[in-house]
Structure 1
């Protein structure tokens, strides 16, 4: 298991969180799939728990208010040293801020925004809670990719807000690019054109490491989820796109070593 950095550089994906309608059932699903256990999170966020793996924080799960009928989806949080300044930059660069900035008790300060293409993401200014505390083992978030209509304009947005360098994919027939900080790849953009799902629109996709992609996909189905794209080989490893019982989509991957 590789220990994550204690404090994430601004722009680095530092946390993933999921808001659902049935928190206990969702805990059961992910606990069985990823071997997570759960500790209470900040009370200001309503019913909220932190998913733990071997005593290290890896993700958050929360309960939506009964009158909220929002799509259930994993949210990628990007690190910042100043959530208020980042929120202002998001607005200035053509994005929107729908929540915050607001304090999450002593844990930190957050905002939820969306890019010009409509993809929702979070901003996290760490205080007591630094974000994902471990990486590399099965059950940990391993990658984040923005799935959008086209990458050129939205890529400029993320570069302006977070200071990324963008590297286009080597293949000329794919609208893909990698976002880097100080020469290190931290996330990717994938333009899919008309193939963008109508029911989801542009979105950030969370990849979770697994020991065996095929077995994990079978386990998703056994636990009441769905396998949306069967296990397949990719440059980054063997992966499958799946959804939990409430419909939150994520990718499981056995990374190439």
Structure 2
């Protein structure tokens, strides 16, 4: 599957304990895991849902690195995208480098400090399953500097955008370049870190996984030693919760609303 530029195509989690991560996410989402990539690839380990690639876990090489889920945005040319990132006021955390024979990756930060990845696919094309329970379904960036961040993503990826018509929520939907922005074409979005969030919380991306039952997923996370940051609540798009795994990586789960009469 080829992903349009700027569309989320992959996620991975950097964790202190790879084996513990396998146990946690294996029970939470039913994932199975491929072979350890070995020292040459930092012991990168792909996760599978029903035999299809859904994410990866990787042990942190340095304890100072954050324990975090990272979303990767597709690009046909990582070096060209990196140049646009710099020109638009972002920074390169890791310059583009080849991961043979799988592709080329980079890590970048937007003007508000939120980190994301770039992925120029070759042998590893990204998600083989998404949107179904136990797989990636959404991402959004949280920022305190929405004007600079909005301009950044529009410049770098050319997103079509539309702001939600909701006085209580400052949220911008992203759609791929050349696509009319709307909920049926949305691939992510931008939210604002308001005073309701801790002052020390930096700009960041939040990765969502689809689940069949949001409340059951939150209960499972607690049982497995994780934490519920935002308890399950209903939205127009389904019931969601924000969670933290048992090693400190934050993520969200979303259960799509059941159609009336289903």
TM class by smaller structure: over 0.9
Quick one: distance in 1 between partners of 2:253 and 2:37?
28
**TM-score scaled by structure 1?**
0.93
Q: In the superposition, relative to structure 1, how do residues 156 and 42 fare at CA in structure 2: closer, same or farther (>3 Å)?
A: farther
1:90-123 deviation digits (Å, cap 9, x = unpaired): 1111111111211112111000000000000000
Displacement of 1:42 in angstroms is 4.8
* Structure 1 residue 73 displacement after superposition: 1.0
- Paired with 1:74 and 1:19, the residues of 2 have a C-alpha distance of 7
Alpha carbons 1:151, 1:177 under 8 Å: kept: no
Displacement over 6 Å in runs of 4+: none
SS where residue 19 of structure 1 aligns? Answer: strand
Q: 1 or 2, which has the higher strand percentage?
A: 1
CA offsets per residue over residues 58-83 of structure 1, 9 Å max, x none?
Answer: 11110111x43122111110000001
Does residue 242 of structure 1 match 2:238?
A: no
SS at match of 2:225: coil
Q: Cα distance, 1:55 vs. partner? A: 1.1
Q: How does 1:105-254 map to 2 (within 5 A)?
A: 105-181=100-176, 182-183=179-180, 184-254=185-255
Distance in 1 separating the partners of 2:25 and 2:153: 30
With over 3 angstroms needed to count, the CA separation of the structure-2 counterparts of 1:54 and 1:32, relative to structure 1, is same
Aligned to 2:15: 20
Deviations 1:157-182 (A, max 9, x none): 01111110111111134211101111
Matched residues, number: 251
Are the counterparts in 2 of residues 196 and 202 from structure 1 also a CA contact under 8 Å?
no
Change (3 A) 1:197 1:123: farther
Kindly state the Cα deviation for residue 195 of structure 1 after the two structures are TM-superposed.
Answer: 3.5
The secondary structure found in structure 2 opposite 1:175 is coil
Determine the structure 2 residue equivalent to 1:3: none
Residue 224 of structure 1 aligns to a residue whose secondary structure is coil
Please report how far the alpha carbon of residue 150 of structure 1 lies from its aligned counterpart in structure 2 after TM superposition. 4.0
